[in-house]
Structure 1
Amino acid sequence: MEGGMITILDLKTELAKLTMLRGRTPQTTETARKGSGAFATLAPFRDGNIFSAKFAGDGAWERHPNGDELVQIVDGSATLYIMAEDGPKSFALSAGMMVIVPQGTWHRFHAPEGVTVVTATPKPTEHLTVDVEDPRTLTAAQLSNAVEEKWR
């Protein structure tokens, strides 16, 4: 076998370890997210990691400047909002669906009833720490004060 070691993930077992983070908002801090038991890093993958998450509420705007993100909805449902070149778009997603978010595209999830996802996410991730309607309207100075860059 060429390359590295094979990685086998038991998603049923890994997802059972998660607890639902209710009331998630764009201002929910990284410390609160990590301490909630709702987010886990499952394995390294290509230029990033495989993650799992279980939350209800609204995620922050985020983007991945170095690659596409693959998101599978495992349980529940969510609305995916993206900022496309021609304006905002929304997509209703439910269990069993998968979406590929293009590199550099601002996106966020709205999941009032709760959603469980597995993602293949490239590094870094830029998370906004403020709630804005359109992240593209922020100036460079505002962006520098409102982005958490994650290399996890």
Structure 2
Amino acid sequence: MVEKKSLADILSRLTYLPNRTPEMALTGEADLAFSEIASYRDGAISVGYYSGSSEWERHPAGDEIVMAIEGHTTLVLLIDGEQHRIVLRSGELVVVPQGCWHRFEESIHLKVLGITPQPSDHSLDFPDG
């Protein structure tokens, strides 16, 4: 079934998370700041609203699309053992390559949309590769 959804309505229902930390991924403290909009292929289209930093993550089954809707962040990609920082501002997007470890840091009032394949791997520690 085809269903139209309002991104503005979904974003307005999110609870702003002012001090996101990587450890919150393990506790569920950040749950109200995120919402799945729809299933998509083998994953989902989701949004979040927060400031702070995330844990490391990667998606071995496919590329992830990340778009800053409002606010800004630094997306850190781990490529060949080196960290590459990309500043994302409102309206900008990045395609994170399949299997590439990445994280968000220094996010400020970030409303972010992600089209994320599953499964996802997460790590609090700096990944080995």
TM bracket (short chain): over 0.9
Describe the superposition over 1:104-127 as per-residue Cα deviations: whole angstroms up to 9, x where unpaired.
000000134220101110011111
Question: Does residue 1:25 correspond to 2:21, yes or no?
Answer: yes
Q: Paired residues, what number?
A: 128
1:73–1:118 Cα contact (<8 Å) kept: yes
Q: Which has the larger radius of gyration?
A: 1
Alignment match, 1:51: 46
Structure 1 stretches of 5 or more lacking a match? Answer: 138-152
Structure 2 stretches of 5 or more lacking a match? Answer: none
More relative contact order, 1 or 2 (CA 8 Å, 6+ apart): 2
Q: CA RMSD in A?
A: 1.4
Which structure 1 residue ranges, 4+ long, deviate > 6 Å from structure 2?
none
Percent identity for Structure 1 against Structure 2: 36
Change (3 A) 1:123 1:112: closer
Of 11, 16, 28, the residue aligned with 2:12 is 16
Cα deviation for residue 30 of structure 1 reads: 4.3
2:74–2:107 Cα contact (<8 Å) kept: no
Cα deviation for residue 19 of structure 1 reads: 1.5
1:72–1:99 Cα contact (<8 Å) kept: yes
Please, what TM-score do these two structures have when normalized by structure 2? 0.92
Higher strand share: 2
